[in-house]
Amino acid sequence: MAHQWRGVIREYLDRLPFEASDPVVTLGEGGTPLIEAPALAKLLGVGSVHLKFEGMNPTGSFKDRGMTTAVSKAKAKGAQAVIAASTGNTSASAAAYAVKAGMQSVVLVPAGKISWGKLSQAVAHKAQILQVKGNFDDCLRIARDLSENYPVFLVNSVNPDRLQGQKTASFEVVDVLGQAPDLHAMPLGNAGNISAYHLGYKEELAEGRIKAMPRLFGIQAEGSAPFIKGSPVEKPETIATAIRIGNPASWDLAQAAKAETQGGFGAVSDREILWMHRFLSQEAGVFVEPSSATGAAGLYKLSQQGELPKADTVVITVTGHGLKDPDWALKDQSGRKIKPKRVSATAGAVADLLGLERK
Ligand code: F0G
């Protein structure tokens, strides 16, 4: 009998700090598709590109991989409530996994700066949502303080249990490709994800499953690019709200990921992000939220500047689903709202509008 994917803890039990008897809080996360994108390979001038489509996780982003491990560990420790600071996706994920665990969730989000798709998820999963008059960095500072001084359990990626779950994305890439890619790129915000991929690939190398590390590339939005500046950005700004972060928590881990893999950091403008967001929808058939197009946009920019390292196999993680933040798809390149035409309910009227000739 065919069996259903069991979520990352059970699928990778021997490679995670869990025993078979530990509580597992899962919504079946992981096992996301690795989708070949020949149009993007052509655009970048590389052998092949595969998109790791993390929008296919239960709450629509890669956060679920780390949330299953963080909330399971919280459950084992008897936690009653979890707290997370978030630009949206972490809050959606924390809220859903808290429900599954029978816990309360508290989420702190920057006021007015998270997409309504993500906000609706946190509301749907009955999180206590507070809109903080500040940015993500303020939210994280407060969440850390609360978790140290009050009975709430922090499930941001500064909690090492999160990275354990998130590293399974590297395992899945290697399981499918049978090797490491030459280069692996992703958007870079608070820097948990690139740190987790690095951890996962290092374990694959140590186990002899891959022969060499992929070069890891983290791409930021120009208005929110502390890794390019070399120090925190006080007032980060970008339409890519998921990565609107000025003071990344996993700074040192991300620097190590870059240095130890001969990888790189890059930054792209909001315009370049939106261009790639459209390209992925229209040429690869993969609908992502704008922030999630940042990795691909960064590689495109490098290729145009002649600075993209030679690579036969490229993986790009697209981190969240397009339905999270769909407004951008409903605007044309000059920002005008796209409204499908209305038509009378007859085949003739529809054929006329489509310019079809009768057979
Ligand atoms: N892409 C998306 C869609 C995200 O939501 C995030 C982070 C990132 C990329 C960046 O990943 O922080 O590990 O470098 N979102 C967090 C949140 C901050 O609160 O949902 P990172």
DSSP notation for 235-283: S---S-GGG--SS-TTHHHHHHHHHHTT-EEEEE-HHHHHHHHHHIIII
> Are residues 168 and 31 in contact, defined by beta-carbon separation less than 8 angstroms?
no
Q: How far is the CA of 62 from the centre of ligand 1 (A)?
A: 8
Name residue 186's beta-bridge partners.
218
Identify the pLDDT of residue 125: 98
Q: Rounded to an integer, what distance in angstroms lies between the CA atom of residue 317 and that of residue 181?
A: 12
Helix (H, G, I), strand (E, B) or coil at 177: helix
Identify the pLDDT of residue 148: 96
Identify the pLDDT of residue 2: 79
Write the residue with the smallest CA distance to atom 15 of ligand 1. Answer: 242
Q: How far is the CA of 244 from the centre of ligand 1 (A)?
A: 9
> Are residues 155 and 127 in contact, defined by beta-carbon separation less than 8 angstroms?
no
pLDDT beneath 70: ranges in the chain = none
Predicted structure pTM score: 0.97
| Tokens matching residue 287 | 């609908």
Strands 183-187 and 215-221: parallel
If you ran DSSP here, which 8-state letter would residue 280 be given? I
Identify the pLDDT of residue 335: 86
Identify the pLDDT of residue 334: 85
Atom of ligand 1 nearest to the CA of 93: 20
Indicate if ligand 1 lies below 6 Å from the C-beta of 105: no
Left, alpha or beta for 45 (phi > 0: left; psi -120 to 50: alpha)? left
Identify the pLDDT of residue 100: 98
pLDDT in tens, 95-137: 999 999 999 999 999 999 999 999 999 999 999 999 999 999 9
183 backbone dihedrals φ, ψ, rounded to 5°: -145, 140
264 backbone dihedrals φ, ψ, rounded to 5°: -165, 165
How many helical (H) and strand (E) elements, i.e. helices and strands, does the chain have? Answer: 14, 10
End-to-end CA distance of the chain: 48
